């Protein structure tokens, strides 16, 4: 596909359109256009565009990829949205992706990977990357409850999900940096949190783009089995980075996963046949 991407919209979405929202988008663009596809990074719940702007945006631009990070509504410096749903977040991703100059690669982290999976059914992405994907369901909740009961249980009753330093980062990351990142975390809407547990699974992706799944076997939010299941959904195997925490883009060895993503894209993965 060439030229401006085409949005895929359902009839009922025309009848009940999402409310427009002001969205924060942070960009890092190479000095010279190398005709590489733009990357749209989608952070997980509680995170904003800052989580990718810290390291990955500039690194991707340095390797010739135009890089953009979106703060979902209610996150970062985007417009507050206490009643947002997963559909609202999906709308944010599709709208921003469709505004980019070329067909984009969608990169979702954590619960942002679930949002990207929904967006793939509405936007014909060139490729997608699911980083430490939280694809939802009660199994994910059970894992989080066992490992962080004080921060997880309140989310069932509408409070914010609170993730701690041990869940997000390895011991290699200096405590001062870890505390700074944790202090910046916000929260998703209670409706979106609930839908992450109980909502429907994503529809098939438009055009069956190649999808890379990566994470850490030592992630204290997403267990290895969940990574395997996520990759199997897209007929692949997960790419693993032992010793890292859930927030791979902020952890001490952040270069390793982003270089693996860019190396994969430079091999020009072709859309799946079907």
Residues 213-241 have pLDDT tens digits of 999 999 988 889 999 999 999 999 999 99
Residues 243-258 have pLDDT tens digits of 999 999 999 999 999 9
Distance CA 236, CA 110 (A): 18
Predicted local distance difference test score (pLDDT) of residue 137: 55
Other Cβ atoms within 10 Å of 252 Cβ, number: 17
pTM of the model: 0.87
Of 151-165, 170-184, 225-239, the one with minimum mean pLDDT is: 151-165
Residues 20-63 have pLDDT tens digits of 899 999 999 999 999 999 999 999 999 999 999 999 999 999 99
- Domain 11-266 classification at class level: alpha beta
Predicted local distance difference test score (pLDDT) of residue 24: 98
Residue 4's alpha-carbon distances to 83, 85, 119, in angstroms, are 31, 27, 17
**Residue in the block written with tokens 């270089």:** 259
Q: What is the dihedral of CA 79, 80, 83, 89, to 10 degrees?
A: 40
Looking only at the bridges linking them, the beta strands covering 67-71 and 24-28 are antiparallel
Per the model's pLDDT, the better-predicted residue between 159 and 81 turns out to be: 81
Strand partners, 215: 240
Confidence of residue 113 (pLDDT cuts 50, 70, 90): very high
Residues 248, 169: contact at Cβ < 8 Å? no
Confidence of residue 273 (pLDDT cuts 50, 70, 90): very low
Annotated domain spans of the chain: 11-266
H/E run at residue 88: helix 86-99
Residues 123-149 have pLDDT tens digits of 999 999 999 999 865 455 555 555 555
Distance CA 154, CA 162 (A): 9
* Helix 224-233 × helix 138-147 angle, to 10°: 160
Of 64-78, 148-162, 218-232, the one with minimum mean pLDDT is: 148-162
| N-terminal to C-terminal alpha carbon distance within the chain | 16
Tokens in use for 65?
A: 């990829």
Per the model's pLDDT, the better-predicted residue between 188 and 264 turns out to be: 264
């Amino acid at each position: 596909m060439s030229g401006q991407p085409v949005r895929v919209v359902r009839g009922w979405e025309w009848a009940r359109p999402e409310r427009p929202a002001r969205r924060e988008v942070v960009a890092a663009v190479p000095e010279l256009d190398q005709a590489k596809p733009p990357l749209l990074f989608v952070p997980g719940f509680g995170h904003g565009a800052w989580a990718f702007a810290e390291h990955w945006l500039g690194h991707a631009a340095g390797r010739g990829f135009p890089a953009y990070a979106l703060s979902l509504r209610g996150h970062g410096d985007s417009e507050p949205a206490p009643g947002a749903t997963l559909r609202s977040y999906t709308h944010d991703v599709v709208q921003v992706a469709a505004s980019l100059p070329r067909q984009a690669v969608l990169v979702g982290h954590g619960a942002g990977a679930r949002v990207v999976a929904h967006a793939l059914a509405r936007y014909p992405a060139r490729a997608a990357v699911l980083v430490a994907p939280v694809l939802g369901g009660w199994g994910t909740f059970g894992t989080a409850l066992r490992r962080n009961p004080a921060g997880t249980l309140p989310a069932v009753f509408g409070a914010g999900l609170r993730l701690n330093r041990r869940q997000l980062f390895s011991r290699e990351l200096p405590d001062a940096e870890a505390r700074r990142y944790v202090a910046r975390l916000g929260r998703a809407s209670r409706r979106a949190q609930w839908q992450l547990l109980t909502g429907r699974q994503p529809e098939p992706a438009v055009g069956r783009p190649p999808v890379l799944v990566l994470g850490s076997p030592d992630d204290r939010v997403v267990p290895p089995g969940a990574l395997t299941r996520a990759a199997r959904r897209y007929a692949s195997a997960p790419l693993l980075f032992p010793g890292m925490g859930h927030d791979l883009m902020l952890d001490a060895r952040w270069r390793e996963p982003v270089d693996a993503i860019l190396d994969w894209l430079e091999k020009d993965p072709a859309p799946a046949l079907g």
